[in-house]
């Protein structure tokens, strides 16, 4: 984990089942509503401040998701992309990174083609067994319930940057 995390320049997240608990709630107007965990957002911010860009690839799209990603400063959001391999190739080219410099957090079969290419494949505690088996790291927390924060901390720990990231965050936010 230490070697793989040290090379990391980009962390890609799936959305449904990773940033959310995988539930789909439809409004009366037919819009899909999503719930996000605040600690996951802080984990994303901590990675960004330490120079790890965070991106999203998702087969879904929608206003709540776009709003959350905007709030977090996630500039590379590949939404409505059913073929994650094509989206991943586009993202690699646009970000100017190589497979070994990328981490990916997925939770199911649709994520395997990308997980098999990246330098640091990860999954969540309640991910499907196929995703957990393909992962070099599996969180202890479920998707949408702090798993991304746990993964962010694990990456920062492996890079020897967690204490500095926490101190920097506190200094910038009056702590």
pLDDT tens readout for residues 11-48: 999 999 999 999 988 889 888 888 999 999 999 999 99
- Sheet of 102-106, strands arranged across: 76-79, 53-58, 10-13, 102-106, 120-123, 137-138
Predicted model pTM: 0.95
Domain locations in the chain?
A: 2-41+48-170
**Mean pLDDT in the chain?**
95
Pick the CATH number of 2-41+48-170 from 3.30.1490.20, 3.40.50.300, 3.40.50.1000, 3.50.50.60: 3.40.50.1000
Write out the two tokens for 116: 């098999």
């Amino acid at each position: 984990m230490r070697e793989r995390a040290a090379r990391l320049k980009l962390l890609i997240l799936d959305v449904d089942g990773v940033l959310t608990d995988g539930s789909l709630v439809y409004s009366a107007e037919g819009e899909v509503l999503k719930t996000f965990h605040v600690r996951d957002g802080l984990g994303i911010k901590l990675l960004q401040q330490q120079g790890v860009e965070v991106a999203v690839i998702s087969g879904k799209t929608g206003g709540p998701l776009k709003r959350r990603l905007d709030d977090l400063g996630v500039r590379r959001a590949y939404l409505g992309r059913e073929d994650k391999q094509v989206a991943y190739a586009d993202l690699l080219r646009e970000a100017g990174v190589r497979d070994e410099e990328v981490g990916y957090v997925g939770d199911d079969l649709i994520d395997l083609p990308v997980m098999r290419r990246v330098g640091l494949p990860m999954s969540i505690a309640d991910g499907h067994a196929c995703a957990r088996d393909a992962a070099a790291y599996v969180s202890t927390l479920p998707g949408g319930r702090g798993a991304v924060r746990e993964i962010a901390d694990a990456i920062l720990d492996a890079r020897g940057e967690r204490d500095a990231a926490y101190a920097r965050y506190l200094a910038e936010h009056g702590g």
